[in-house]
Structure formats: C-alpha cells, structure tokens
Amino acid sequence: MEKICNILERTLRWLNHLDKAPVRWIGEDRIRVQTGRSPLLEFGFHSWGSETDLRVGEHRAVSTPGTVIVMNAHFRNYGTPRREWRFWCLSFGVNEMSPIDGVGDAPLLCAAPARDVPGIIARYQDVAREYGRRDALHDVRLKCAVMMLLAELYRNVAPPGTDVAGYSLPVEAVVQILHSRFRDPQIELRDLAAVAHLSEDHFGRVFRAEVGMAPMKYLARIRIDRARDLLLRTRLQVSEVAAAVGYADSLHFSRIFRAATGLSPRQFRTRAESATPPEVPAVQAQAPA
C-alpha cells in the first residue's frame, strides 16, 4: 500500500506542473486485457466481477472487485478474469516524461483495496467524458478531471486521515522556478541550490528524494515536453524551437531531443503530421446493478 500511495503522490505532483495531462487511453474493459509493449503508466480499477489474474512481466497478482491497480506496459501487461469483470483504466504516455524515474526499467505491478467503489467509478466516468469532449478548454478540463481521479484513488488506498505530502518549501521553490524560467539557457545547478539555501550535493540528494530525478534532468524534461508541444502546434523552425525552450545551440537541442524521444525534432514533427488521429473510445458509463 505504501508503494501505490507513493506513486499516486508523485503522479499528482508531476501533473500539477504540466500544461496538460498526457492521457493516451481512458475507458472500461469487460473482456480480457492484453496490452502490448508500450511506454505507458496505467492506473486501473477492478470495479465488478470475478477474481482476475494480473501479470506484468514476471510479476503476478490476483485482483478482486474494489482493487486499485498501478502497472506499466513496457513489458506487456495482462488481466485475465476467471469469469466476468469490469475494469477501468487510465493510461499515461511516459516515453518523454514520467512521474517515476526509470519507470520502464522493470515490470511494475502493485494493487491495494479501495473503500468507495461508486465514488471511484464516478471519477473515471468524469475523465472519460472530458477525454471525449473537444473544445477550447479541453486540456484544462481533462487535467482537472484526471487530478480529481488520482486524488480519489489516493484517498481510498491511503490510511484514513492521510494527506498527500507536498514538496518541502526549498524543493517547491525550485520546481516553481524551473517551470517559470525553463526558457533561460543560463540556469545552472548552483543557482538552484542557492535558491534552496543548500549545498549543491545536499540539494541534489534532497531534490532526487522528493521529485524522483536530478534537478537538471527535471529541467531537461520540462524543456523537451514544451519543445514537443511547439513542434506539434506551430511552424517554428527547429532553431527557433530550441531557443524558445532554453537551448542556445540547436544541434545540442537536437541531440537531447533525440535521446529523449528516439527521433530528431524534424522526424518527430513529420511523424506526428502523418499519423492518423486516434479514435475517441466509446465509454460504457453504467455501473453494474
């Protein structure tokens, strides 16, 4: 239970500082689940039915109705009901940014019982509705609904009276600076340590313990996430995108972008432009009687 609470806490903090939630799928399954190798972090809920065998890599578990499940899909994952089941799943794309450092390094599967089944189902339905709605406020509404769902999962699996722990004041101050000043190419570790009033070594240890990654890696992920958005939504040249996210050298930016995404900025834009828009999934919104 402690592990699943920690993952939910980290994910809530991570989402809070993103412009939009990187949702790749939200929906309810009523058949056997089989997810191929994909860079996904998934938050599931077994809402009704029989016992179900779960497997991620070599990790195995048995879920029953009312179970919250967190798993990755980097090593495939499976849910095989012994008879019937209903399973809600929210999937985040984490190939560029993730709330958990090294999320794809090993199979991840953890589960915990929940206390309020109808409340959780209602939150999943809220996310599904916002995911399927396309208007000017889509990203804002979807992010809000996702954070409400994760907060509801945390409330259900954490010991009663437990609150989501925020960052310490020094780390929160640095996180805010990184998100507001990521365009500044002069940001260095010593500047961030000075904001936290800590030595560089001590600051690095504290930041990694709370955020799950090194400060400069966190900064790079903010920049790459913003660069992806600019490449998709604008016609800026690669050199202009690099400058807009804090890289004075466009070649250095391209190397970092390729290391993070597996594609050069131009390849990323070309592939995105040629991709078929994803279908919005149908939502089964009725809870079982």
What's the CA gap between 176 and 212, in Å, rounded?
16
Band (287; pLDDT cuts 50, 70, 90): very low
pLDDT attached to residue 275: 59
Mean pLDDT of the chain: 89
pLDDT tens digits along 45-64 = 999 999 999 999 999 999 99
pLDDT tens digits along 5-47 = 999 999 998 898 888 999 999 999 999 999 999 999 999 999 9
pLDDT tens digits along 143-187 = 999 999 999 999 999 887 666 666 788 988 898 899 889 999 999
Mean pLDDT of 75-101: 93
Amino acid at 11: T
pLDDT over 70, % of the chain: 92
Band (282; pLDDT cuts 50, 70, 90): very low
What's the CA gap between 244 and 96, in Å, rounded?
18
Tell whether the model's pLDDT for residue 219 goes beyond 90: yes
Place of tokens 């689940």: 33
What is each CA distance from 108 to 56, 57, 69, 146, in whole angstroms? 7, 8, 10, 21
User: Which ranges constitute the DSSP H helices of the chain?
Assistant: 2-16, 117-132, 138-157, 169-181, 189-196, 200-211, 215-233, 238-244, 250-261, 265-274
pLDDT over 90, % of the chain: 70
Q: 187: closest CA among 142, 247, 140?
A: 247
Tell whether the model's pLDDT for residue 112 goes beyond 70: yes
Lowest mean pLDDT among 90-94, 121-125, 172-176, 255-259: 172-176
Provide the token pair at 17: 């500082």
* Spatial contact of 54 and 61, defined as CB atoms under 8 Å apart: yes
pLDDT attached to residue 162: 65
Mean pLDDT of 68-90: 97
Residue partners of 145: CB distance under 8 A and separation at least 6: 123, 126, 127, 129, 130
Identify the structural domains of the chain with CATH numbers, from first to last. Answer: 2-157 (2.60.120.280), 169-273 (1.10.10.60)
Lowest mean pLDDT among 57-61, 67-71, 148-152, 273-277: 273-277
